Amino acid sequence: MSNQEDRLKTLIGHAKEYGFVFQSSEIYDGLSATYDYGPYGAELKNNIRQYWWAAMTKLNENIVGIDAAIFMHPTVWKASGHVDAFNDPLIDNKDSKKRYRADVLLEEHMAKYQDKIEKETDKAKKKFGDAFNEEQFRATNPNVLRAQERINGVEGRMKTALEANDLVGLRQLIIDEEIKCPISGTANWTEVRQFNLMFATELGSVSGESSTIYLRPETAQGIFVNFLNVQKSARMKIPFGIAQTGKAFRNEIVARQFIFRMREFEQMEMQFFIKPGTQQEWYEHWKTKRIAWHRALGLPADNYRFHDHIKLAHYADAACDIEFRFPMGFKELEGIHSRTDFDLGNHEKFSGKKLRYFDTETNESYVPYVLETSIGLDRMFLAILSAAYEEEKLENGEERVVLRIPAALAPVKVAVLPLIKKDGLPEKARAIIDGLKLSHNCQYDDKDSIGKRYRRQDAIGTPYCITIDHETLNDDAVTIRERDSMKQERVKISEVERIVGQKVDMKKLLRQL
Ligand code: GAP
């Protein structure tokens, strides 16, 4: 098993053991690519959502939020292009009977060449030390150049095939590159076929095409169809944005890698309506804003990178992803898309209703362009969990597992621990919790040794533990222990709320934006 698989397995085990994420319907052996969030997972997820929502709607007076229904009129999905074009190109290996996305097979194949380049560069860096000129090395080393040429070749052919919907060409590329099924090890591939990712169901009791409705595959369309409702009722002037969080559903074929790719997941999307012609400027603006939102969390900066799309979605004129270094390598975390007037224009056509903005300053009426930011809440959860998880060797030779979750997002902010279960210490602990619980999510724990209790809190990422001992009854002071440094300090009970608040307040994150 590779290191990457090991790390993901460890995370999955930890997430289950400590009540973050469970396999859905586990007692029935689970339902693939569907997960439930446990007590700490639900808190962490809420906190991430709240951070996103506040960053969008509180910090920008020209962005408002909505909460649209999951079910929408079926014509929405014709207008949006999802009925005709929301497809994945699939290919099966005849020996293993495993099904793959043809484009993912090719991307993983290119990633292997990229790995070679990185390894070669790292080796040279170690060899030459300070004298190493990385830029020159990448531009001249024959092994690097050869690998880069292979990547460019595959990328070029793949782009051409995808754009032309040339499924035969896509398959030929897989054959020419001698890509093998990781399970059977053979290149015995079927034809490539297109597969629509939307889940369909019947509305009411009548069946037939007219009553087929879909579970929304993105939250964005609920925003587009409400464009005029929101613009008018909230008296918005262009440029303005509409934000929404909510469930989306996709019948993903290759649904692996835990909560990274699920069939039911949650999106946090914002559509920003702008004047046609200004899209490039807003594209850059939202790229900067969104990466700042991620960076404010304080996770290592080299976990993020931008990746421009090689195949643009059916609605976009420019698009990139913010990729994150997940345990499986760099993968898409968030998309930033310049969607032009594709959606509003099509909804005008299909609904027969005008979806225009009248600019009172220029006396012009136009269909606005749209700049979209779209992030998966579950992917963001996985990003935080994977960056936060650490098995740390302590000075005394022991080991602890600690989740260094950004304090403002931690599920529990403070644990209150009476040293023993008698002599009035539990009562004192409860009284402290009563004082804190309106501001912070608190937990009471009096079971096992204090060391074990600290470990339990470390494992769920609690930023502070407060210990009540016999002295507390005399001096109204407690020992406060900080998660990351494990430093302990004696402080007055009256100071606790301020100390905890300073560290865990979400305003600390929002002020950086
Ligand atoms: N409205 C645009 C849109 O939906 P997308 O790139 O298909 O764009 C946006 O999805 C984000 O939603 C992705 O960057 C990812 O974080 C998340 N996402 C997409 N499919 C997902 C899945 N099957 N499971 C979990 N998250 C997913």
The predicted pLDDT at position 315 comes to 75
* pLDDT more than 90, % of the chain: 87
- Whether 88 is in the pocket of ligand 1, judged by its Cβ within 6 Å, is no
pLDDT of residue 205: 65
Q: What's residue 215's pLDDT?
A: 97
Strand pairing category for 63-65 and 240-249: parallel
378 lines ligand 1 (CB under 6 A): yes
**In b/e form, how buried is each residue of 280-296, taking b as 16+ CB within 10 angstroms?**
eebbeebbebbbebbeb
Domain range annotation of the chain: 1-71+197-393, 87-196, 397-510
Alpha carbon nearest to ligand 1 atom 14, residue = 334
Cα 43 to ligand 1 centroid, rounded to whole Å? 22
The token pair that represents 137 in the structure block? 């090395």
The response to whether residue 158 sits with its C-beta less than 6 Å from ligand 1 reads no
Give the pLDDT score at 492.
97
Residue 377 CA, ligand 1 centroid: distance in Å: 9
pLDDT score at 85:
87
What's the CATH class of domain 1-71+197-393? alpha beta
329-353: per-residue pLDDT in tens?
999 999 999 999 999 999 999 999 9
Question: From the centroid of its chain, how far is CA 280?
Answer: 24
262 close to ligand 1 (CB < 6 Angstrom): yes
What is the spatial distance between Cα 22 and Cα 16, in angstroms, rounded to a whole number? 5
DSSP state of 210: G
Query: Stretch 251-265: mean pLDDT, rounded?
Result: 89
For the residues 69-73, what does the mean pLDDT come to?
96
* Nearest residue (CA) to ligand 1, atom 7: 218
Name the closest-CA residue to atom 27, ligand 1.
376
Range list of β-strands (E), 347-398: 357-359, 364-366, 369-376, 389-393
Contact 100, 254 (CB under 8 A): yes
Probe residue for ligand 1, chosen from 332, 333, 342 as the CB with the greatest number of ligand atoms within 8 Å: 332
User: Mean pLDDT lowest for which of 54-68, 202-216, 455-469?
Assistant: 202-216
397-510, what's its fold? Rossmann fold (3.40.50)
pLDDT score, position 436? 95
Residue of minimum CA distance from atom 16 in ligand 1 = 376
| Arithmetic mean of pLDDT, 287-292 | 98
Q: Pick the more confident residue, 365 or 203.
A: 365
Residue 267 Cβ contacting ligand 1 at under 6 Å:
yes
- Nearest Cα residue to 123 out of 108, 102, 141, 145: 141
Lowest mean pLDDT among 119-123, 224-228, 470-474: 119-123
Confidence of residue 1 (pLDDT cuts 50, 70, 90): very low
Fold of 87-196: Herpes Virus-1 (3.30.40)
pLDDT tens, 24-70?
Answer: 999 999 999 999 999 999 999 999 999 999 999 999 999 999 999 99
Provide the pLDDT for residue 260.
96
- pLDDT exceeds cutoff 90 at 282: yes
Helix and strand numbers (H, E) in the chain are 18, 23
HSE (side-chain half, CA atoms, 13 Å) at 154: 26
Distance CA 415, CA 433 (A): 9
Position 206 pLDDT exceeds 70: no
Using the predicted structure, report yes or no on whether residue 256 has a pLDDT greater than 80: no
For ligand 1, the distance from its centroid to the CA atom of residue 313, given in whole angstroms, is 12
Dist. CA 152–CA 331, nearest whole Å:
19
Distance in angstroms (rounded) separating the CA atoms of residues 50 and 191: 45
Stretch 383-402: mean pLDDT, rounded? 95
pLDDT for 317: 86
For the cut 60, the answer to whether the pLDDT of residue 209 exceeds it is no
Q: Is the pLDDT of residue 451 over 80?
A: yes
Which atom of ligand 1 is the closest one to the Cα of 261? Answer: 24
| Atom 19 in ligand 1: residue holding the nearest Cα | 376
CA distance 399 to 458: 12
